[in-house]
Structure 1
Amino acid sequence: WIPEVRHHCPFVPFILIGTKLDLREEYKDAENEPSSQGNSFVSYKDGRSLSNKVNAAGYIECSALTQKGVKSAFDEAVRTVLTTTKTKKGKTTFLCTL
């Protein structure tokens, strides 16, 4: 989906969001972890690395079930919009706000 976003909205920043954080925490010490079925969870480090690789404006993890990180995801989305401007050539730049 990233190539499509970059094609149709080349100068719009996006945030990569890791969802279902509750599942990683639920299976942390369980024997029936999805990795035993050929699947595995994305670590925070790997998610952050991918967000850097695809030039995302940020990386947030959240769980709709437990609500952990949901507010942070929305806060980060708003922050990204408010600190991003377009230059005259259509390129996106990020403002530094302290």
Structure 2
Amino acid sequence: IDGEQINLSIWDTAGQEEYDRLRTLSYPGTDVFMFCFSVVKPDSFDNLRDKWLPEIRQHCPEAILMLVGCKNDLRFTLFNKFQNQERKFVTSDEGEYMAAVLGAHGYFEVPSFHHSKVAPIFHEGAREALRRRR
């Protein structure tokens, strides 16, 4: 990143209650947490505030938080498909607001199948971690 070599380890942790004690074993030494949720599943968004933030703040209070809204391309597709039904999606404004409320480094969105949009988010997290270490 910016001419500096880094070691990046990525952990995709399970949110099920039966993994609560095991999951926290992976937290020590973590610089950045990327909270990923589906913009077409508001429950996953609500879990940021209700489940994940309290857990992370307890175990890694100084860690950088980043919010990533996944599947943003489906927001429009599913809206058109279900426009006659009551269906809730997470908007970009809601994601940005949640990031501000949580004190996150930023809010980012990525589509379902364009993986090229993912790498810049990891680069941003690594840059912020390096900046804070200096």
What displacement does 1:50 show? Answer: 0.5
Aligned partners of 1:62 and 1:68 also within 8 Å = no
Whole-Å Cα distance in 2 between the matches of residues 45 and 68 of structure 1? 23
* Residue segments in structure 2 that go unaligned for 5+ positions in a row: 1-51
RMSD: 2.2
2:71 partner letter: K
Partner of 1:53: 101
The normalised TM-score by structure 2 is: 0.53
Q: How does 1:19-38 map to 2 (within 5 A)?
A: 19-28=70-79, 30-33=80-83, 36=85, 38=86
1:83 aligns with 2:134: no
Tell me the equivalent position of 1:8: 59
1:64 offset after TM fit, Å? Answer: 4.1
In percent, how many aligned pairs have the same letter? Answer: 30
Could you tell me how far apart the structure 1 residues matched to 2:130 and 2:64 are?
11
Q: CA deviation at 1:21?
A: 1.3
Query: Once the two structures are superposed, what CA deviation does each residue of 1:42-91 show, in whole Å capped at 9, x if it has no partner?
Result: 11111011000011111111124222631222122112212223xxxxxx
User: Distance between the aligned counterparts of 1:20 and 1:4, measured in 2?
Assistant: 25
Q: Which runs of 5+ in 1 are unaligned?
A: 86-94
Deviation at 1:13, TM superposition (A): 0.9
Native 8 Å contact 2:67 2:108 kept in 1: yes
